[in-house]
Structure formats: C-alpha cells, structure tokens
Amino acid sequence: MKKQPNVIVIMTDQHRLSAVGAYGDTVCQTPNIDRLAKEGVRFETAYTSNPVCSPARGTVMTGQYPHTHGITSNLHNVGCSVHELRDRPELLSRRMESAGYQLGYTGKWHLGTEKTESFGVPNEPSLPRDVGFEGQNFGNHGGGGFSYPEYQNYLKENGWAHEVKEWGEETQHIFEMGELEGPTESTVPYFLTQHTMDMVDRFAEEEKPFFIWHNFWGPHGPYYASKEYVDRYRDVSIPEWPNYRWPSRELMGPHQVKIHPDHERLTWTDWEMALRYYYAFTTLIDEQIGRLAAHLEATGQLENTVIIFASDHGETIGSHGGLTDKGWHHFEEIHRIPFIVRFPDGTAKGEVREGFVSLTDLYPTVCDLGEASWDKEAVHGKSLLPLVADADTPWRDTVVSEFGGVNSLAATLRTLRHASYKYGYNCAGEDELYDLDKDPWETRNLIQHPDYRDVAADMRRRLYVWMVETNDPARRLYQNRLKYYGEHEQFEVGKHPG
C-alpha cells in the first residue's frame, strides 16, 4: 500500500439536503451517498463559503473566502473581481503535486474559461490543465456539459444523441427539465464517471498516489434524467415545504430577486413535479457515485482511497414562497451542504460530527491527508482530521457564508451561524435573525424582537470579529450598521473587538 492515500473529492452542484437520504427523512433515493455516510463520518452542520458556483469552487482551490481569493461571483459576471483562477503554488492542486500526487480532473470547472478577451481587455484563460491537472478541460459553467465536443464524440461513437422528450406532464413546465430519450449510459453523469474510472486505472499503474477532483453538473438544472430514474418518482407524493406559503412577495428583502416570476400562478403540484425531476437527476448521479466506488473496490484501490463527498451549495426549488436557484438570502436551503468523508481504514465509521464545518475546511483537510504543506495564516479553513479523531476536540462555535451577487447583479450579504441562531446582514435592508430551534424553517425574523435584543447584539459582534479575522473589506461599512444599533464604539476600525 502506498504511504499516502489516494484522495477523490466528489462534488455535486446545487445539491440541497432534502436530496440526501443520510441527512434526514426524504423520498429522494441516494443509497450510494448514504453508504459513504455509513462507512465514513458525516458532518451534520456544514456550510458553503458562498452559495454561488464559482466563488464556492474558488474556496476549494484556495481554502479562502471569496472576498480574499477574489472570485466573488460567477466568472465574467459584473461583480466578479477575479475572472480566472490564477495558477500559483498555493492552489490545492499545486500543494498536492508538491507532495508527490498525480492530479486528475473531471467535469464542471467554472473557475476559468478559454476567453482571450473580457470586458474589452485581454483575458488570460485558466482551465484545469493550467493549474496542474490531467483530464478534462471544460471551460466556464458548461450548461450541463451537453455541448462539449468530448461528450458529443462519446455520443456519436456509441450511436446516441442528447435528446429530451417533449414535455408531456399535466403540470406547468416551470424549469428546464425532462426525460432523456437515450439510455443511462448516454447521460453526462455516466460519461463523467467513466472518465474518472479510466483515470483511476491509469494512475494506479504509477507508484505515486493520486488526487482526483470529480465534479458533476447536477443536480443543478436542467433536471434531465433517463427513463428508469424518472419512473422511480412518477407517482411519488412530495409534501409541501413547511415554508412554501411564506409571504415572499409581501416581505421586503434581497430574496425578492429569486421569486419565480409565475409564483402566484403556480400551485404546489407544479413544484412537486419539478422536485420529481430534481430527485430523479439526483438519483442518477448517486448511482454513478456507487459505480465509481464499486470500480475502486474491484480494482483494489478503495482500500487506499479517501473519498470526500460535498456540494458547492444548495437549492431552493419552491421553498420560502416560490424561491428559485441560489443566492440572495440567508436560508438553510442554499447555505447548508452535505459533507462526508470515508476513510479506507474505517476511521469514525458511521459517526456524525455536530460542530460547524465550512467549505473552507476542505482544502486543509485534503492537504493534511496528502501530507502537503499549507499556510495556516493565509487559509481560512481548518483541517477536519482533529475533529474526526475526537468529537470533543476544541472547535469553532460560529460559521459564516458570504454573498456578493450573481447574474451580473450585486449585493453584500453575510450569514452567520452560532448556537441555534442565524444572523443575516443585508447591506441595503433590514437584517435578519432566526432561532432555528424554535423555527427550523426560518419563517419569523426576530431581529426587532425585544426578547432577542441581546442575542442580536452578540451575533453582530461575532460577525464583526469574523470580518476582522478574515480581513473582509465590507467590515468598514458594516460599522454603519453597528452605529445604527449604538454598538460602534466597541468596534473601532483597525482594532480587534476581542
């Protein structure tokens, strides 16, 4: 057995927790992800660094929040400060390469493009190959991966085509979703998984360990799945989200950006159908995860491979009064993510860790697994290995997600969790405070409630501490919010609030 373990990071896109069986009661079938949780350790309260694709993925490669690594929105959107991931020794790929690892990449990238010009000025492209990876080089978002020549050639070689059946459901077609004409083998998730399996076989011939980052394009829309998966949910009843009737239009806030334009004309039956396709797509992806794990086992690689499963962020799909997509609010649906680590020796098998985990922790955890050096002063995350080894190890008591805008719209939001509370800073509106023990579906904003005045003040203090510690440039204007509450004197610019 190689001294250092192989490491495979499997990342899904826009994957809410209701679509992971291991995280609670759901009709969504994910037996292979659930198996990873049963054979590994599951982190119960894990949060993204930013509920948008590119910023979150930039965190994976740097261990930093977007306000530091600079990819503050999706690439080449207005509001994104850095449009291409610049190669440098501090990137996760280069850290692992320096530790002796072979580097492999599959699937969605969204950290660079092949553009040579952007906003009228020269642009330096960045693809996986430019930061040390072997494998696929799919620039920009990719829109599901359907149009890339490699996938089109794969279809052609096998006599298939990417075709979606005409929408025949009795409900409204509220998103891009549908049943694929071809077999499961013709789908993008199958194609991506075959690529990773082939890469595992190639890397296994070498003496060096491998690090592979495997990225699915789903269950981010469009929600396409082959017949066998659509049929599994054909007659499945899915109850309303408990916050589905939250008055989203009546309440002012940044969430207004993401209310479905037809919300008032839609019924739960329409959303229920969309969820069936979302779950069908998720189950298709889950079976590919099982296929990859089975291949590792059959080739003897599972006994020396750490598998990390996580998502970049969540999804709303009708919750909180017909919200869609991600970003623009503080709710659990988009901020909380699945995060599971399976160790080949059975470490912490079937255990759950309750401490707050951040997507920023993935980078130092992978580095520690590979015995790669990393800069603890520059990285915002913490290695999860001490928490895995001892559930009682001293750990953070707060976790933060940030948001700066997406789709060429901009807003500054910061979301902080501490104890059972969640505080949301809205730069251009009223802040938000939720007591998740009493209100787990976040329907009652308590920011002005007299009984929560001290809690709100403590949460604001904690957010400012985090802003100072991470050098968040928004902290200076955040002081205006503190002045509004009469708390600014204890938070002078440049001084740590203690």
What is the structure's pLDDT at 36?
98
Encode pLDDT of 83-140 as tens digits.
999 999 999 999 999 999 999 999 999 999 988 888 988 889 999 999 999 999 999 8
- Amino acid sitting at position 82: V
Query: Regarding beta strands 102-107 and 210-219, do their DSSP bridges make them parallel or antiparallel, or are they unpaired?
Result: parallel
Of residues 72 and 493, the one with the higher pLDDT is: 72
Encode pLDDT of 1-15 as tens digits.
358 999 999 999 999
- Amino acid sitting at position 410: A
What is the structure's pLDDT at 498?
38
Confidence grade of residue 497 (pLDDT, cut at 50, 70, 90): very low
CA gap 463, 421 in Å, rounded: 13
**What average pLDDT does this structure show over 202-228?**
98
CB 158 within 8 A of CB 185: yes
Q: Which of 76, 55, 75 is nearest to 67 (CA)?
A: 55
> What percentage of the chain reaches a pLDDT higher than 70?
97
Residues 6+ apart with CB under 8 A from 70: 58, 81, 82
What is the structure's pLDDT at 488?
66
Task: Say if residue 184 is exposed, middle or buried (CB neighbours under 10 Å; 0-12, 13-18, 19+).
Answer: middle
What is the structure's pLDDT at 496?
43
- Residue 367 clears pLDDT 60, i.e. is over it: yes
CA gap 262, 131 in Å, rounded: 43
In the chain, helix, strand, coil percent, each to 5? 35, 20, 45
Residues in a beta bridge with 323? 259
Encode pLDDT of 45-83 as tens digits.
999 999 999 999 999 999 999 999 999 999 999 999 999
